[in-house]
Chain A
């Protein structure tokens, strides 16, 4: 495995994600949120006027960097393929409920580990939920549940989401008056624009080349153990983030008073279990969906659109967890998400004749 180029690409991607995930918070992003796909999507949806939370409006350059970095890399290495067409509505809904699960926990799988490595012990139970969800997803796959394979798409469907992110980059640089930027709250906290964009592009390129994915690492670990490069990548990501947190003095172990955390552990577990399960069914965590959409995968692009809609609605409808806990309708949304996963298990199952 050590002689494989793929292994070292995974190492580079996971190392950069772990180190920059911490450093971006040092450089100005919110505490423990150096990189968080769900939080950043909520910020971006707010910046586009899709929700009215004035403390959550900023076009996060990291997200733009992830997609455009992946696009550039896949074009350079001739891996850009316009493909898709499998269960579009299911993927749209999956994207929505990915964000519901993340918002209830307050963070995507990347942030889960960033919180954990900063000493936030509430994330420990959420990790149990995520791992459980991935395991359930694997059981579903083994039982024949799947969304179908992507096929080559005519008409450049794969360019739509990268095109959208190019437009977001124009919005970010030109800052037209209809794009909103918070001047207080967590969205007002951000690393310098060019630094964030540069990190996003670098991580996007490395993630595209390596296929790095948080839930993919867990999935491969459960399937293949230590033989899986992605599992090693996950461990390197965790160690790198922990060392980075320790070296910048941001490791503060504890259960209480952690930034952007709550004590509704059951809902953290369930939220992350939903994220893990859905991620395995659709082939990757929220971060991986962004990267795949940059490679021309219109199916992942639909998940990204669903995530953006979800990001707008969790803020607009008040579904997201806060330090005070998980709101009632957030809990309802998680339960509905599980309901839909069960329905998916029934209707998307390939049964032997």
Chain B
């Protein structure tokens, strides 16, 4: 490579020009917030956050009546309403989590754990302390209770597959609560 060769000269010149252009662009500054948005629309992070907030609001609106019934202690009615909603929004994690909460309050530990697991497999936000959907405390309460009740039952009936499955669900919930990267 040298200055005498026209090919090299051209390339070095091009490189210098490109660096100068880059420097000029950087010096002139990135477009301001509003300018960037008019150029590329609302930035992706904002879009994502808006979509998430809209989802949370939508869930609150759809499942609000069930929450209300649950608060008033009308657990059976709440379960019936959930059944209807689940037909309409099949596979929605929020429905499983709500069902888990209600069943736990009714003392049906195994089924409550199974519903929490189904919900969490679809959406991990329910064990995330930062999420507005977080249900860490009730899930933790179920895990604590599950250990106490199910471990004793499993020891007494080691061959009972339903108890083993329920205990497995409790371990799964415990693992999700413990966090970690996945």
Contact = CB atoms under 8 A, between A and B. Distances in A.
A186 B48 CA distance: 17
B181 A323 contact: no
Contacts of A177: 36, 40, 43-45
B182 A186 contact: yes
Nearest to B167: A256
A151 interface: no
A184 B128 contact: yes
A257 interface: yes
Looking at A49, A189, A257, which has the most chain B CB atoms within 10 Å of its CB?
A257
Contacts of A176: 30
Contact of A322 (B44, B179, B182): B182
Interface in B145-182: 168, 171-172, 174-182
Given A183-B49, A188-B130, A263-B171, A32 B44 contact: no
A106 B178 contact: no
Contacts of B128: 55, 184-185, 188
Interface in B70-103: none
Contacts, number: 91
A178 B175 contact: no
B181 A183 contact: no
Most buried by A among B36, B43, B131, B172: B172
A324 B176 CA distance: 9
Contacts of B179: 30-31, 186, 189, 259-260
Nearest to A30: B181
Interface residues of B, number: 28
B41 to A, nearest CB: 10
Interface in A168-208: 176-178, 180-181, 183-189
A36 interface: yes
Contacts of B177: 257
A109 interface: no
Nearest to A189: B179
A64 interface: no
B7 interface: no
A185 B44 contact: no
Contacts of B44: 49, 177-178, 180
B175 A258 contact: yes
Interface in A133-189: 176-178, 180-181, 183-189
B5 to A, nearest CB: 17
Nearest to B178: A259
Nearest to A188: B130
A186 B181 contact: yes
A12 interface: no
Of the candidates A31, A187, A259, the one having the most CB atoms from chain B within 10 angstroms of its own CB is: A259
B130 A323 contact: no
Contacts of B43: 177
Contacts of B124: 55, 185
A33 interface: yes
B182 A256 contact: no
A322 B175 CA distance: 10
B48 A54 contact: yes
Most chain A CB neighbours (cut-off 10 Å) among B40, B124, B175:
B175
A9 interface: no
18 contacts: A30-B180, A31-B179, A54-B48, A107-B181, A180-B44, A181-B45, A184-B125, A184-B128, A186-B180, A256-B171, A257-B171, A259-B175, A259-B179, A261-B180, A263-B168, A321-B182, A322-B182, A323-B175
Interface pairs A-B: 5 shortest CB-CB: A260-B180, A257-B174, A259-B180, A259-B178, A177-B43
Interface of B: 30, 36, 40, 43-45, 48-49, 117, 121, 124-125, 128, 130-131, 143, 168, 171-172, 174-182
